[in-house]
Structure 1
């Protein structure tokens, strides 16, 4: 049978991808890459083959990728280091003879509207194209959880700040994207080179999002859109490291220009159901 491996498997998206694979694939055919045995304890309990490897230690990756037919390369969480880290993983996959790589890229990465994030994703896509390994691109849009994580502060302060203006978002949950990754990986026929632009079924502005959050929380919340430089400064003043503030402000500006909108409904077609409504994700967060 086909063997599968998910990198970053103890991360939020990676763990969900493993769980999604296990719905249709025997655990004996699923492997999970983590940086240490301790980090793989929960995955081991699921019966999958836990393998140890680190994007920053290329010598650990080749052995971890041995015997794998289809690899889900989950993008690193370390913005600024991704180009080298992903390059290490792709080179190791080549040496290990991996049959196919599915990479979690960024929605419309080639449009470069989210400049900071798209730079590293485009570099990874280019590395895959030049590797000779069959590959597909899972260009994930924004996670609804990215927006929800700001709600506690917004409810407390009464203000939800951003630099996204009236840009439309088409978000979905991490679980939606994980289900799509599993569907692509386990597909009977995978056409190498396919690019999947993945986004939620609903399109909304942050004005819509904040209004729904205020309604559910029964608290007044005002959406305030700031110029990119002002928003970046506010994030730094709130204690975020400058590189993180740069990335968030740049991403919001990209969203204002349409970088996080897509109406192809490719994601819901892959998973065979509508994507999770953002109102549901807000409700779950407020109950947590």
Structure 2
């Protein structure tokens, strides 16, 4: 059986959707903190099991009979290392054949504050001795396309990434890669640098959006401090303004770019260009 943590999250649901094309629903275990949010998964025949990071024993129970686990990194920045450790120990106790972990692109050299907990988690996995594969996911295209409504309203896109290139891809591409790894043997010991084939700068992003909407959208590059302040003024809750500002400064330094073709090789086709994701987002907005 294949267990997916964070199964009702944005990435988790897409991984399960991809797995449904490869394995019977009964072989998929959706591990969640709120079983009510997973009712639709249960109705598909997927096993829904409860687990909470604050209850280590719940993870041991969730992994009974499981032979492969996808640990999707927690969303609770600052608490993730301890939370991931709980899952790793449960996977070790369950003697799983494979633990896959969604880390971050260029983890070992990244200056992003987000990388710290990923590097720590990778070290914990290695020390555990559990057979593992590391999926170092690049930036999600949705990190930028989700802001399109506000960008169109304001007529400008702001950031602090300078001319840094960003090797992003939509979540569904990363989900397909994870599903491939879980359903194909010989993955233990591998580290994949998963990056979109078509890097872009935020100036180019603004240009693609301008082209798609026939509206002139400029990219305004700010200092990291000014960008953080703008996000705070817009009501973005802590700690995300600081995390996003730091991430874009990292992008300016090349931390969100990679020439790796691991992603397209795993999914069997080129990754989805940002132009396509922009068009898809605009189509959803117009519905």
The answer on whether the counterparts of 1:155 and 1:220 sit within 8 Å (CA) in structure 2 is: no
Pairwise CA distance, 1:179: 0.3
Q: Deviations over 1:177-210 (max 9, x none)?
A: 00000111111322x2210000111011111111
* Unmatched runs of 5 consecutive residues or more in structure 2: none
Q: Deviations over 1:115-145 (max 9, x none)?
A: x100010111011011111111000000100
Q: 2:269 aligns with which of 261, 273, 279?
A: 273
Aligned length: 284
Measured at CA, do residues 34 and 242 of structure 1 come closer, stay the same or move farther in structure 2, by a change above 3 Å?
closer
1:239 maps to 2:242: no
Secondary structure of the equivalent of 2:158?
Answer: strand
Q: Distance in 2 between matches of 1:55 and 1:107?
A: 25
Pairwise CA distance, 1:92: 1.4
Map of 1:62 onto structure 2: 60
Q: 1:196 aligns with which of 167, 178, 192?
A: 192
1:113 maps to 2:111: yes
Q: 1:94 aligns with which of 77, 80, 92?
A: 92
Pairwise CA distance, 1:241: 2.5
Q: 2:246 aligns with which of 250, 269, 274?
A: 250
The answer on whether the counterparts of 1:67 and 1:97 sit within 8 Å (CA) in structure 2 is: no
* Unmatched runs of 5 consecutive residues or more in structure 1: none
Secondary structure of the equivalent of 2:219?
Answer: strand
Pairwise CA distance, 1:112: 2.4
- Structure 1 segments, 4+ long, off by >4 Å, are none
Q: Distance in 2 between matches of 1:243 and 1:17?
A: 27
Alpha carbon RMSD of aligned pairs, Å? 1.0
Pairwise CA distance, 1:4: 0.6
Map of 1:207 onto structure 2: 203
1:162 maps to 2:159: yes
Map of 2:24 onto structure 1: 26
Map of 2:132 onto structure 1: 135
Map of 2:220 onto structure 1: 224
Provide the TM-score with structure 2 as the length reference.
0.96
Q: Distance in 2 between matches of 1:37 and 1:264?
A: 37
Q: Distance in 2 between matches of 1:39 and 1:208?
A: 38
Map of 2:141 onto structure 1: 144
Q: Deviations over 1:31-72 (max 9, x none)?
A: 111112201111112211111112232221110011111100
Map of 1:40 onto structure 2: 38
Pairwise CA distance, 1:275: 0.8
Secondary structure of the equivalent of 1:109?
Answer: coil
Secondary structure of the equivalent of 1:110?
Answer: coil
Secondary structure of the equivalent of 2:236?
Answer: coil
1:180 maps to 2:177: yes
Q: Distance in 1 between matches of 2:102 and 2:231?
A: 27
Q: Distance in 2 between matches of 1:120 and 1:188?
A: 28
Q: Deviations over 1:209-239 (max 9, x none)?
A: 1111111122221101111111111111111
